[in-house]
Structures are given as structure tokens and as C-alpha cells.
Amino acid sequence: MMKDIDYSYEYKDDDNKYCYPGTNVLKNKLSIKDSEMLYNAEREFSMARYAALQVKPINGDFSLKHLREIHKYLFQDVYDWAGVLRTVDISKGTIFCLVQHIEAQFEIIHQWLKKRNYLKDVSDRVEMAKDLAYVLGEINMIHPFREGNGRAQRLYIEQLCENNGRFEVNFSFATQEEMLKASVDASVCNYEAMEALFLKCLIERN
């Protein structure tokens, strides 16, 4: 049973620069000033871009630059700051990485992956689930962007699987609640729920 925590974002005052004055609506290229309309439009645009990247991924070295390129592609229609690291500290019950540590913290994960040849040699499904759970749990805690972290990091993970060649990951096999619980648990270095989520979502290719 999940604790009753408010998972909406909280920001410091300097978040104002991301939003239209007096609102919590993110400034956007579509000039939408209604939060529900923006939510829907942003989902539609990013879904189309997400599908395009699934067909033709952005090649990269799984560095923060690579993740930024993915985010930029996904949100290019909606936000000027697509692909740009956030400049405001954020929390959702969980306090995410402080702005000044984002690059260094991501580099730790990048080096971890590099040492493991970007998981290219993993052939065991359980081992792959364990490694991906760690990577996603940690990247989620970094939360490099003001919005759109979930979508960008899921694509990044899909591309890690693609790079391995033996596995595919289909996140639609897990619910949003399962992802949320797994993410919250991972924030205190408990990766069990995230591993279980990957065991549900990882498919072995023929």
C-alpha cells in the first residue's frame, strides 16, 4: 500500500521563469495558457516524436549529451528548453538531484555503463533486468529536465536494449503506478520493484 504523498512537483521561487506569470503553466511554443490543454498537446506532440525515435533512434554514447538529444527531439515542438538541463531544483515528495550536481551524477552512471560495455554483453534476462533497474532508478533520481524526464529516460533505456540486441523493453506492460512505486523505492536504493517491473517488460528477441 503506497503512502499518501503529494507527488506534484514543488519548486523554488526561481521556477517562475519557466511559467507564465501568476500561473503554473509552463511557457510553451504553442502559446497555450491552460494547463490541461498544454498537458494534452504536449502528450500528443511528444507521442508522435517518441514513435519516430522508436523507428529511427538517435545514435549516441549514452552520456548526458545523448539523453539531452533524446529530450530535445521529443519536446522540440513544445518547449524552447527541450534538451536543456533544468536550472531549478525540484521535488515530488522525493528531492531530485540538485541542479549543480546533475552533470557529475549523470557521469557516474555513464561511467558505470561504459565499464559494463553499455550492457552489450549481457545475455541473461534477470541480469539485464537488474542492471536496467539500477540505471533507470538512478537516472530518474537525477531528473535532468524541468519536465519530460519519464519519457526521455524510457527511450534511453529502450535504446540500451536495442544496443544489446537480445532484448526489447515494452513499458506498456507496466502500469504508471508500478513505475511510480518502483521509482520511489529506487530513490532510497531499493531496486526490487524496478527489477520486477523490468522482468515484466523485458522481452527476449527471437
Ligand X SMILES: Nc1ncnc2c1ncn2[C@@H]1O[C@H](COP(=O)(O)OP(=O)(O)OP(=O)(O)O)[C@@H](O)[C@H]1O
Paired with 167 in beta bridges are 204
x/- string (CB under 6 A) for ligand X, residues 143-182?
----xxxxx---------------------------xx--
Nearest C-alpha neighbor of 133 from the set 185, 198, 200: 198
Tracing cell 552533470 back to the chain, one arrives at: 103
Tell me if 39 contacts ligand X by CB under 6 A.
Answer: no
Q: To the nearest whole angstrom, how small is the minimum distance from the Cβ of residue 102 to ligand X?
A: 13
Tell me if 200 contacts ligand X by CB under 6 A.
Answer: no
Tell me if 93 contacts ligand X by CB under 6 A.
Answer: yes
The sign of the CA dihedral 130, 132, 137, 139 is: positive
Q: Is 85 or 180 the residue whose CB approaches ligand X more closely?
A: 180
Q: Which of 27, 29, 66, 92 binds ligand X (CB under 6 A)?
A: 92
Tell me if 184 contacts ligand X by CB under 6 A.
Answer: yes
Please tell me the count of residues contacting ligand X according to CB under 6 A.
Answer: 15
Tell me if 183 contacts ligand X by CB under 6 A.
Answer: yes
Q: To the nearest whole angstrom, how small is the minimum distance from the Cβ of residue 206 to ligand X?
A: 29
Which residues 2-21 are close enough to bind ligand X by CB under 6 A? Answer: 7
**What is the radius of gyration, based on Cα positions, of the chain?**
17
Q: Which of 187, 196, 199, 203 binds ligand X (CB under 6 A)?
A: 187
Tell me if 28 contacts ligand X by CB under 6 A.
Answer: no
Helix segments in the chain, DSSP class H:
35-55, 64-75, 102-115, 125-142, 149-164, 176-186, 192-201
| 117 conformational bin, left if phi > 0, alpha if psi -120 to 50, beta if neither | left
Tell me if 112 contacts ligand X by CB under 6 A.
Answer: no
Q: Which long-range contacts (CB under 8 A, 24 or more apart) does 20-27 make?
A: 26/79, 26/146, 26/147, 27/79, 27/80
- The residues of the shown chain that bind ligand X, judged by CB under 6 A, are 7, 92-94, 140, 147-151, 179-180, 183-184, 187
